[in-house]
């Protein structure tokens, strides 16, 4: 049986329990054949002292959504996914609302995967652009 979009999102949200993703209130909201999207509220839990979104929270969101995507797209193999390199450019600040991180796979290798993650605000304005490399390790 092929998993539906709803089943995949439910599985992704279930694995967030008792993790950093739950602490940051990250929620997976969309899935396509080559991307996955999660959202995170911007509030005092993820602010820098001056009241804007912390770059580290953005990077945690990006790695979470990219790693979940790798887990889903490599599901036909018995592997564990690890992020091995991440680079982020933060281009716009945000103080409240939600940010949405859409991870799109650029390279789906047997061992490594390359992801582009665009983090945008509710007006679809770019907040951060992230590149993530993941590694598939045999279990």
Q: pLDDT by residue (tens digit) across 4-54?
A: 889 889 989 998 899 999 999 999 999 998 899 999 999 999 999 999 999
Q: Are 113 and 136 in contact (CB under 8 A)?
A: yes
Q: Is 63 a catalytic residue?
A: yes
Cα separation, 118 vs 34, whole angstroms: 14
* Residue ranges with strand state E in the chain: 27-31, 35-42, 79-90, 97-108, 112-120, 126-138
Q: pLDDT by residue (tens digit) across 108-135?
A: 988 999 999 999 999 999 999 999 999 9
- Under 8 Å CB-to-CB from 128, ≥6 apart: which residues? 55, 58, 59, 62, 88, 89, 90, 91, 117, 118, 119
pLDDT at 77: 67
pLDDT at 21: 95
The chain-wide mean pLDDT, for the chain, equals 93
Q: Which of the residues 3, 63, 85, 122 is marked catalytic?
A: 63
pLDDT at 110: 86
Q: pLDDT confidence of 103, banded at 50, 70, 90?
A: very high
Q: Are 59 and 94 in contact (CB under 8 A)?
A: no
DSSP 42-73: ESGGGB-TTSSB-HHHHHHHHHHHHHHHHHHH
pLDDT (mean) for 77-97:
93
pLDDT at 84: 96
In this structure, the number of other CB atoms found within 10 A of the CB of residue 129 comes to 16
pLDDT at 44: 96
pLDDT at 139: 81
In this structure, the number of other CB atoms found within 10 A of the CB of residue 86 comes to 17
Q: Of the candidates 125, 117, 64, 116, which has an alpha carbon nearest to the alpha carbon of residue 93?
A: 125
pLDDT at 135: 94
Q: Are 128 and 62 in contact (CB under 8 A)?
A: yes
Strand partners, 38: 28, 101
pLDDT at 78: 82
pLDDT at residue 1 tops 60: no
């Amino acid at each position: 049986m092929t998993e539906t979009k709803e089943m995949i999102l439910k599985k992704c949200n279930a694995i967030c329990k008792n993790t950093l993703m739950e602490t940051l209130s990250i929620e997976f909201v969309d899935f396509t054949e080559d991307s996955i999207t999660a959202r995170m509220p911007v509030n005092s839990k993820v602010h820098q002292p001056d009241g804007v979104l912390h770059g580290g929270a953005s990077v945690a969101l990006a790695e979470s959504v990219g790693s979940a995507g790798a887990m889903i797209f490599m599901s036909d193999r018995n592997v564990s996914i690890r992020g091995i390199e991440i680079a982020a450019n933060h281009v716009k600040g945000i103080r409240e609302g939600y940010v949405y991180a859409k991870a799109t796979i650029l390279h789906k290798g047997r061992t490594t995967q390359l992801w582009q993650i665009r983090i945008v605000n509710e007006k679809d304005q770019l907040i951060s652009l992230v590149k993530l490399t993941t590694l598939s390790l045999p279990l």
